[in-house]
Chains A and B, each alone.
Chain A
């Protein structure tokens, strides 16, 4: 199975400051159709996960533009340009290229 490794696992951030989460895969996530199925999800406390980013860098509808994704091959990053209070939660990367699709361990974002 493809192992997705996130870092850091805990991320205390000051309001208004940027935050960055790394996700590395144990093998390339480029699918046979040429797309890279790497997504990012936010799970606020007590809520279902919500997809923020798909195929590395595409923001889902309604996602604030302070969230951005980047990367290629096996190294990917989620960035929050200016953290707001509503961004508190756990963030997961997901690879949807190789079955079984696998998530990273999760990164808990909290306000300092």
Chain B
């Protein structure tokens, strides 16, 4: 059974940093693109970033470029999102997803507030 389990969310002050993790199981992690999608409270979905196999290609939505870094550790079957210079508008549930969204985790809530 495919499982994606996010962790690392929490309350952080504006300008602060957080590192999200996604532990994958039930499939050969190294052979799939992975991505992060966020959903602000009561709002729609926004695809934040993706990383291809071997990290060969990475892309970010403009609103997080230069502040967020997506990475993967295939030996640990894990996906990461390093988030720096956080802003109030980054407050959202962050979901880990495989490829173009065939599987999703349960999400982890990031709240940016003073």
Residues of A participating in the B interface, judged by any CB pair closer than 8 Å: 37, 39, 41, 48-51, 54, 60, 92, 94, 96, 99-106
B104: chain A residues within 8 A (beta carbon): 48-50
CB nearest to B60 among chain A residues: A100
Give the contacts of B80-100 with A (CB-CB under 8 A).
Answer: 95, 100
Number of cross-chain contacts by CB at 8 Å:
47
B101 and A102 contact, CB distance less than 8 A:
no
Q: How large, as a class, is the contact surface on chain B? A: 10 to 19
| Interface of A, helix, strand, loop or mixed by DSSP | loop
Tell me which of B44, B95, B102, B107 contacts A103 (CB under 8 A): B44
> Smallest distance from the beta carbon of B34 to chain A beta carbons, Å?
13
B73: chain A residues within 8 A (beta carbon): none
